[in-house]
């Protein structure tokens, strides 16, 4: 039977790949086979190739860096994820940069306009073209999905279909001033590491689900940035921040989301093996595979 009551197709997961070397390592670590062993019909249609836009042809737009290549890749991912979702499959996107979530969540919302998003991350990724300091678009996807901030022509293809009460964060601990203001002004619910310490991960996940999916009637898109985990657990990632989720807390979130029976799309993002020594890279890849298995039904007993 299909894991989610929203997936007519019995347990078919379509593995998508990001733009980074991370996805290749996750696949080569055996993730497709591991998912097949969980009973999934895995459709892995190869590594997504994107022709690079040379940097000189992709100058910043305002502060935004590599806007054209990011937009092009995300738009392609939106189409492919949307197509898989419309076929009743569960798109699993392996990143790669979290800017890809503009594509994956757009794809999910096309099929499931009432889907809710559980965003697991050290960061809120909700800067606008105005509030961003870094100009790195991986810090902005949520603002485009929510339609917050000044219009950026390059990203006008991102339809603002996500509503503030349909997204909830878990794991925040490095949020910019401008993002704090946005979260507050839009009434967006966020469980930082402070709440994880205070209530424990079990209660936090329950409160997060109660907030975005009270009757567990809505489809869930889980977007998991591995930098939500403590750097001792997932060291090989772009923006590590101390004081993160333990190995078990991260896996508990995935197990609990799976148990709702509402999961329709999954992102495992920001695994970047080229950023650490090979031991740390291997450890991070293994955690990425393990999180995906937990979100797709691997239980402890």
Alpha-carbon distance 222 to 266, whole Å? 5
Our answer to whether residue 47 is catalytic in this structure is: no
Burial profile 193-214: b = 16 or more Cβ within 10 angstroms, e = fewer = bebbeeeebeebbeebbebbbe
Q: Give the binding range for Mn ion (CB under 5 A) out of 25-33, 68-76, 207-215, 235-243.
A: 235-243
Residues in the interface with ligand HDQ (CB under 6 A) total 17
- Stretch 258-297 residues interacting with ligand HDQ (CB under 6 A): 270
Containing H/E element for 111? helix 101-111
Q: In sequence order, what DSSP letters do the residues of 161-173 get, joined into one string?
A: ---GGGEEEEEE-
User: Which is nearer to ligand HDQ, 34 or 134 (by Cβ)?
Assistant: 134
- Stretch 94-113 residues interacting with Mn ion (CB under 5 A): 97-98
Containing H/E element for 94? strand 90-94
State in angstroms the smallest separation of the CB of 135 from ligand HDQ. Answer: 8
By CB under 5 A, is residue 58 in contact with Mn ion?
A: no
**How is residue 234 annotated by DSSP?**
S
State in angstroms the smallest separation of the CB of 203 from ligand HDQ. Answer: 24
Q: Indicate which of ligand HDQ, Mn ion, none lies near residue 154 (CB less than 5 to 8 Å, by partner kind).
A: none
Cα 88–chain centre separation: 20
By CB under 5 A, is residue 238 in contact with Mn ion?
A: yes
Alpha-carbon distance 295 to 251, whole Å? 8
By CB under 6 A, is residue 20 in contact with ligand HDQ?
A: no
- Stretch 203-232 residues interacting with ligand HDQ (CB under 6 A): 225, 227
- Stretch 174-193 residues interacting with ligand HDQ (CB under 6 A): 174, 176
By CB under 6 A, is residue 98 in contact with ligand HDQ?
A: yes
Contact predicate 207/256, CB 8 Å: no
Residue ranges in contact with Mn ion by CB under 5 A: 97-98, 121-123, 125, 138, 225, 227, 238
């Amino acid at each position: 039977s299909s894991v989610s009551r929203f997936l007519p197709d019995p347990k078919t997961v379509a593995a998508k790949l990001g733009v980074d070397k991370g996805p290749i390592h996750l696949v080569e670590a055996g993730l497709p086979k591991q998912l097949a062993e969980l009973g999934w019909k895995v459709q892995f249609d190869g590594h997504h190739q994107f022709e690079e836009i040379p940097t000189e042809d992709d100058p910043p737009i305002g502060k935004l860096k590599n806007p054209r290549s990011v937009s092009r890749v995300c738009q392609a991912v939106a189409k492919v994820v949307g197509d898989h979702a419309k076929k009743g499959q569960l798109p699993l996107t392996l990143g790669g940069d979290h800017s890809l979530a503009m594509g994956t969540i757009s794809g999910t919302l096309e099929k499931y306009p009432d889907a809710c998003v559980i965003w697991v991350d050290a960061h809120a990724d909700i800067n606008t073209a105005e509030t961003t300091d870094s100009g790195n678009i991986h810090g902005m996807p949520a603002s485009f999905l929510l339609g917050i901030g000044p219009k950026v022509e390059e990203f006008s293809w991102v339809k603002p279909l996500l509503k503030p009460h349909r997204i909830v964060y878990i794991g925040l601990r490095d949020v910019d001033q401008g993002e704090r203001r946005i979260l507050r002004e839009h009434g967006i619910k966020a469980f930082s590491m402070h709440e994880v310490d205070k209530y424990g991960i079990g209660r936090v996940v329950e409160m997060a689900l109660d907030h975005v999916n009270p009757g567990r009637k809505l489809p869930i898109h889980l977007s998991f940035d591995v930098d939500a985990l403590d750097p001792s657990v997932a060291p090989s990632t772009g923006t590590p921040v101390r004081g993160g989720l333990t190995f078990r807390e991260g896996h508990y979130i995935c197990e609990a989301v799976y148990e709702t029976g509402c999961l329709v799309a999954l992102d495992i993002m920001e695994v970047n093996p080229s950023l650490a020594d090979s031991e740390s890279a291997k450890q991070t890849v293994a955690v990425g595979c393990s999180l995906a298995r937990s979100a797709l039904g691997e239980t402890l007993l």
